Homo-oligomer: A and B are copies of this chain.
Amino acid sequence: MKELQIEVTLSSTRKQKPDFDNLVFGTVFTDHMFVWDYTEGTGWHDPQIIPYQPITLDPAAMVFHYGQTVFEGLKAYLTKDEQVLLFRPDENMKRLNRSNDRLCMPSIDEELALSALKQLISIDREWIPGVEGTSLYVRPFMIAIEPHLGVSPSKNYRFMIILSPVGAYYKEGINPVKIAVESEYVRAVKGGTGNAKTAGNYASSLKAGEIAYQNGYSQVLWLDGKEQRYIEEVGSMNIFFKINGEVVTPELNGSILEGITRKSIIELLKYWNVPVVERKISIEEIQQACHEGTLEEAFGTGTAAVISPIGELLWKNEKMIVNNGEIGTLSQKLYDSLTGIQNGTEPDPFGWTVRV
């Protein structure tokens, strides 16, 4: 494993840690951050760990105007024996580079970026909450910083990693959520940026999310952009259904994010010999399964919430109730197994976790 040589400047003061029992997702940041600049001609240079602080950019920096950004999200867990575990961080780095490619941004050495991530976490290790269900959320991201008003790829970029101790993503906990199927707005379409983790996808998703929220739904389920018929994904989660004993999830089609939790769930189900299929799923198929009583479970998957059972799907005024609005047996088992592997309380037969 390659090591990145980083210039480290430690903070002279330490911030007060928040109450680890009452963390609000993504609002508190640790004492340090990692910064690495890219300059056309020179490449990546001067990796640094410095005190967490504001960044200074020209108002014409291209990120503000033309949105060249990519990001990742993963978590570090503190095990009972005080080890720090990351969950498949190499997958995040690979996806970061796939996103970079789509956004015409420079690729980054995945091993070196991972080495930076580990060094930063080691320095701020006291910020990893040990409380059950909590973790340290890790946010690597890259932005275009050249000051230039003209639509073309930026010449210069900044890659950063920031850390935030987090509690459960949904304040309601692992309770089933209510999701509204979106039939007006579209998140992404084939040929667009749906499978890249870039800011614009999230900006465009806000409006539908707000409307759903006002109507009492926690997120929206996106349908495809061409026919508005095939199921894509939920807010920041991929989606799975259990229909008549078989688990199905939308296939990777270029417009949904290739979730690492999704991939792990599929591998876990195969390991358990539970039938699982990646394919096109129309919303009518789900409606029919619901009517016939074969829609057994539905759940979202993502780093933030891991497994988020779905208790209700609203589609064109029809409320489809899943499993009486209760968490399903398989959803619970997947949640327990995956979080168990992640926080080191369960064995890790796949070698998914990486020690910091």
Contact = CB atoms under 8 A, between A and B. Distances in A.
A137 B149 CA distance: 10
Interface in A184-231: 184-193, 198-207, 209-210, 225-226, 228
A152 B219 CA distance: 10
B193 A184 contact: no
A58 B210 CA distance: 25
A40 to B, nearest CB: 14
B69 A67 contact: yes
Contacts of A97: none
Interface residues of A, number: 66
Interface stretch (A49-57, A81-89, A290-298, A342-350): A49-57
B204 A192 contact: yes
Contacts of A200: 67, 193, 198-201, 203-204
Contacts of A29: 59-60, 147
A260 interface: no
A155 B168 CA distance: 22
24 contacts: A25-B149, A26-B60, A27-B149, A27-B150, A54-B57, A54-B59, A56-B56, A65-B199, A66-B206, A67-B201, A68-B203, A68-B206, A104-B210, A151-B209, A186-B189, A186-B190, A186-B191, A189-B189, A190-B225, A192-B225, A193-B203, A198-B200, A225-B226, A226-B226
Given A27-B150, A68-B203, A151-B202, 13 more contacts: A25-B149, A26-B60, A26-B148, A29-B59, A60-B162, A63-B63, A66-B203, A66-B206, A151-B205, A185-B191, A193-B204, A198-B203, A200-B203
Which 10 A-B pairs rank lowest in CB-CB distance, beginning with the nearest?
A200-B200, A67-B199, A26-B149, A186-B191, A67-B203, A66-B202, A189-B189, A189-B225, A104-B206, A193-B204
